């Protein structure tokens, strides 16, 4: 993406701010893994969204001036000795040209500059959940008082800049949709590869390695979240990431994994038989979850809500559990009593974007939010019967199934970004036999 796109986003945020308001958006910092090694660096999503700049420890400050405003960047200074170890830093001189910001200052000037800026500000837009930044903000306020004494005039209103950015991030632009499709395509290729590599005796971590190999080969910086590879009853642990057990013939394996591409997350779940053949019981349960997934996708479009999709999933699953004899009673009564809940305990959807559980509020003034073109989210019904759930027939115990797709709302309806990964019983069995995936 070009610096022009990031500049437009900063301008759209500035448009929402009143005259002389100040917005402060911090970069992420390196995080220690152990002793003197760090986790791979991941930029803060909001900072990335507004700058496209991947160095740690910066601060973006937007200053509204009349109808327009300016972007100031505080970033790491050039340091040839450090750069020998950790890589080239952009520095201040080139930042305006490369990032399109109006001015850049070395990090060590933050305290002085922010106190000056605060002394002129009408109100301040901060991410309100960031305690460390708030502590700095208090210090900058003290700085204003120290400098200006009784003539100090401090802003008396804080606004949550993260909420404003969440609204912007919730609706994806065409450029973002292209990046998300790429993230999902890479995720899909990883799932293909893992499915093809599945065989009794392989270990869950080996399927994880197949997935993540494909992510890396295709240029994804990292998995978007810890890959879940759960075979047998491990599939009943929703966020199982130990991935340490051997795959057994006759078991299912559930893989919930996605690649991160240029900051955007894919998030796909498929459940398939270790040896490529569903048993009759597995097939019955699998096709019920698939029916719920497909019904929610059929209903997804502008104007409907994630809550409505969730309700349709609950209806399909409960009806199916009745037909399989797992639940007994009358459909409406069972829905009312949430009888499905021991076996389907999570939501159907979450927003997807720069974060796998992306930002954006789900309800507006107490009502479910209508879906709009440009929103991207998951549809991921599941059914889980842990080995100790004695109230069900033994043939269901130890089965965990989830089918998750990534869905974009369009003007006409929706587009399933992840529909290249097979999910019908026939499609999965054929892929695993090595036949053409489209067959
Ligand atoms: Mn998900």
Q: Is 239 a catalytic residue?
A: yes
Calculate how far, in angstroms, residue 377's C-alpha sits from the geometric centre of ligand 1. 9
Determine, yes or no, domain membership for 77. Answer: yes
pLDDT digits (tens, 9 = 90+) for 74-98: 999 999 999 999 899 999 999 999 9
Examine the fold and report which residue of 104, 136, 168 is the final residue of a domain before the chain moves on. Answer: 168
The question of whether 79 is a catalytic residue gets the answer: no
Pair 92, 227 in one domain:
no
Domain CATH for 417: 3.90.230.10
CATH number at residue 22: 3.40.350.10
413 and 384 in a common domain: yes
41 CA from centroid of ligand 1 (Å): 23
Q: Report how far ligand 1's centroid is from the alpha carbon of 166 (Å).
A: 18
Which two three-digit tokens encode residue 438? Answer: 């489209």
Catalytic residue flag (residue 256): yes
Residue 438, pLDDT above cutoff 50: no
Task: Provide the number of structural domains found in the chain.
Answer: 2
The secondary element (H helix, E strand) that includes residue 155 is: none
pLDDT score of 3: 86
Q: How far is the CA of 268 from the centre of ligand 1 (A)?
A: 7
Flag whether pLDDT at 352 surpasses 80.
yes
User: Residues 265, 389: one domain?
Assistant: yes
| 115 touches 140 (CB < 8 A) | yes
Q: How remote is the CA of residue 369 from the centroid of ligand 1, in Å?
A: 19
Catalytic residue among 185, 380, 405, 406: 380
Residue 438, domain member (yes or no): no
CA atoms within 13 A on the CB side of 159: 18
Are the beta carbons of 315 and 321 closer than 8 angstroms?
Answer: no
Final residue belonging to a domain, choices 123, 144, 168: 168
Single pTM value for the model: 0.95
Is 191 a residue of the active site? no
Over 356-403, what HEC string results?
A: CCCCCCCEECCEECECCCCCEEEECCEEEECCCCCCCCHHHCCEEEEC
**Catalytic entry in 169, 358, 402, 405:** 402
Domain closes at, from 119, 137, 168: 168
- Alpha-carbon span 110 to 132, nearest angstrom: 14
Read off the tokens for 157.
């209103």
346 counts as catalytic: yes
Residues with CB under 5 A from ligand 1 (ion): 267, 378
Closest CA to 374 of 420, 407, 347, 419: 407
Cβ-proximal residues to 56 (8 Å cutoff; 6+ apart), any chain: 27, 28, 29, 30, 41, 43, 76
- Domain housing 397: 171-432
In residues, how long is the chain?
439
Mean pLDDT of 283-306: 98
| Residue 15 known to be catalytic | no
406 CA distance to ligand 1 middle (Å)? 9
CA of 327 to the centre of ligand 1 (A): 27
Alpha-carbon distance 109 to 20, whole Å?
Answer: 21
Options 185, 355, 358, 404, the catalytic residue: 404
Element of type H or E holding 127: none
C-alpha dihedral sign at 186, 188, 192, 197: positive
pLDDT in tens, 354-407: 999 999 999 999 999 999 999 999 999 999 999 999 999 999 999 999 999 999
Residue 231 lies in a domain: yes
Same domain, 137 and 234: no
Residue 437 reports pLDDT greater than 60: no
Each residue of 136-150: pLDDT tens digit?
999 999 999 998 887
Q: Are 286 and 149 contained in the same domain?
A: no
Find the Cα–Cα–Cα–Cα dihedral 372, 373, 375, 376, rounded to 10°. Answer: 130
Percent of the chain clearing pLDDT 70 (strictly above): 99
- Same structural domain for residues 129 and 186? no
* Residues 175 and 164 reside in one and the same domain: no
- pLDDT over 90, % of the chain: 95
Rounded to the nearest angstrom, the distance between the alpha carbon of 167 and the centre of ligand 1 is 20
Average pLDDT value for the chain: 96
CA of 382 to the centre of ligand 1 (A): 11
Residue 418 above 90 pLDDT? yes
* Phi and psi torsions of 118, nearest 5°: -65, -35
Instruction: Based on the residue annotation, tell me whether 436 is a catalytic residue of this protein.
Output: no
């Amino acid at each position: 993406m070009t610096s022009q796109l990031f500049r437009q986003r900063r301008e759209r945020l500035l448009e929402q701010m009143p005259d002389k308001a100040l917005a402060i958006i911090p970069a992420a910092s390196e995080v220690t893994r152990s002793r003197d090694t760090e986790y791979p660096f991941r930029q803060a999503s909001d900072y990335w969204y507004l700058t496209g700049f991947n160095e740690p420890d910066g601060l973006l400050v937007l200053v509204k001036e009349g109808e327009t405003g300016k972007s100031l960047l505080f970033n790491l200074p050039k340091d040839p000795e450090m750069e020998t170890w950790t890589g080239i830093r952009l520095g201040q001189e080139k930042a305006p040209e490369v990032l399109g910001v109006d001015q850049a200052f070395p990090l060590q000037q933050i305290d002085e500059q922010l106190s000056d800026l605060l002394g002129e500000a009408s109100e301040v837009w901060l991410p309100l959940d960031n305690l460390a930044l708030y502590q700095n903000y208090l210090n900058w306020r003290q700085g204003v008082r120290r400098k200006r004494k009784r003539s100090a005039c401090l802003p008396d209103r804080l606004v949550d800049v993260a909420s404003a950015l969440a609204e912007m991030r919730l609706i994806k632009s065409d450029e973002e949709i292209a990046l998300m499709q790429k993230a999902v395509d890479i995720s899909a290729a990883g799932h293909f590869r893992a499915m093809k590599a599945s065989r009794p005796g392989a270990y869950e971590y080996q399927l994880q390695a197949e997935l993540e190999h494909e992510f890396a080969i295709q240029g994804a910086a990292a998995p978007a979240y810890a890959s879940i590879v759960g075979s047998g009853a491990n599939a009943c642990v929703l966020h199982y990431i130990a991935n340490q057990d051997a795959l057994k013939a006759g078991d299912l394996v559930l893989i919930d994994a996605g690649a991160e591409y240029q900051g955007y997350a894919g998030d796909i779940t498929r459940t398939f038989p270790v040896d490529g053949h569903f048993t009759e019981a597995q097939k019955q349960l699998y096709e019920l979850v698939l029916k719920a997934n497909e019904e929610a996708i059929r209903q997804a479009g502008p104007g409907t809500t994630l809550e409505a999709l969730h309700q349709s999933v609950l209806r399909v699953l409960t009806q199916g559990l009745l037909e399989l004899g797992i639940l007994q009673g009358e459909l409406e009564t069972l829905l009312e009593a949430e009888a499905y809940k021991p076996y389907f305990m999570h939501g159907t959807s979450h927003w997807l974007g720069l974060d796998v559980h992306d930002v954006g509020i789900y309800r507006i003034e107490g009502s479910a939010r209508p879906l709009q073109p440009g929103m991207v989210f998951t549809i991921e019904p599941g059914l889980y019967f842990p080995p100790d759930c004695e109230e069900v027939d033994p043939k269901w115990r130890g089965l965990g199934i989830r089918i998750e797709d990534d869905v974009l709302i369009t003007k006409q309806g929706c587009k399933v970004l992840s529909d290249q990964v097979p999910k019908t019983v026939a499609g999965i069995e054929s892929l695993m036999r090595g036949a053409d995936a489209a067959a």
